[in-house]
Amino acid sequence: MDEKSVRVIQSLASRSGEAAGPVTPRNTPTELPKESSSCPICGGSGWKEVRSNRERRVTRCECLIKTQEKHLRNFSAIPARYAECEFHNYGTDFNQGLAAAKITLERWAEQYPLDRTGLLLVGPSGVGKTHLSVAAMRRLIEKGIPCLFCDYRELLKRIQNSYNPSVQATELEVLKPIFETEVVLLDDLGAVKPSEWVWDTVSLILNSRYNENRTTLITSNYLDGPSAAADGVEGPRRAAREETLGDRIGERMRSRLFEMCRLVQLNGRDYRQRFRAALSR
């Protein structure tokens, strides 16, 4: 490759600030932090020359791939509590149901984006729904796909806080990354007591992502099932009845979820209780 061609590639790379690879969604981070120009392979351009017989071409340098992955990890906002969640350190405790769920998530992450259908993980607290979801996110980030972790309760608090005149962020600014990031994990859906405002907010988020064909991972401690009203359960039977996902988010949004996601059920003992029991021995 002649010197003029090298200068052209370096100029284009420095102006665009975008990494080659998967197409990133609109208005998600594309400008990567500039690394030191001390890379001995590409000299900081992010591109390296590859020779095959007499043919010469350029491809992404390993330093650019690492920079992109670092940037996407920071953007993902994965909490420190889940920073080390991987498929290899998810314990199934010889539970066939949990092992099957792990295989489903791992296979989904490997095949994405060939299949952009989301996943809805439901099951009791402490069976590792968030662990598996974050592990899948990390696998996608390694492939250069923008992902965002979003705690359902924290999101609602941030939206409500945006109504305070003294707060700088607007509701749109809070929701914009959730609307536009390619893959979003909405963790602990249904954790907040339902109200008209909550239902409207859930509807806005899910409908916006559905209409833009964006992929959503969702976890919930509430098992799938129709609401009491849809089931015709009233009076004392309703009070004694265990709440379902339909009760917590409404039938309309429950129906929309199954247009967006495949259901993955996890059943097992709460690992937190197992851990505390082991310490007390």
Asked if residue 143 and residue 49 are part of one domain, the reply reads no
pTM to 2 decimal places: 0.76
As a dihedral over the C-alpha atoms of residue 276, residue 241, residue 252, residue 265, rounded to 10 degrees, the angle is 40
Asked if residue 92 and residue 179 are part of one domain, the reply reads yes
In the three-class reduction of DSSP (H, G, I as helix; E, B as strand; rest coil), residue 49 is classed as strand
Domain residue limits at 261: 78-280
Paired tokens of 50: 């590859």
Express each pLDDT in 156-196 by its tens digit.
999 999 988 888 888 889 999 999 999 999 999 999 988 99
Please list the rounded mean pLDDT of every run of 10 residues in the chain (281 residues): 41 36 43 58 70 74 76 95 96 92 97 96 95 98 95 95 86 93 97 90 93 97 88 76 88 92 87 47 47
pLDDT of residue 44: 67
| Mean pLDDT of the chain, nearest integer | 82
What CATH number is given to the structural domain containing 108?
3.40.50.300
Asked if residue 87 and residue 65 are part of one domain, the reply reads no
Closest CA to 116 of 238, 22, 225, 203: 22
pLDDT of residue 43: 67
Count structural domains, the chain.
2
Cα 254 from Cα 251, distance rounded (Å): 5
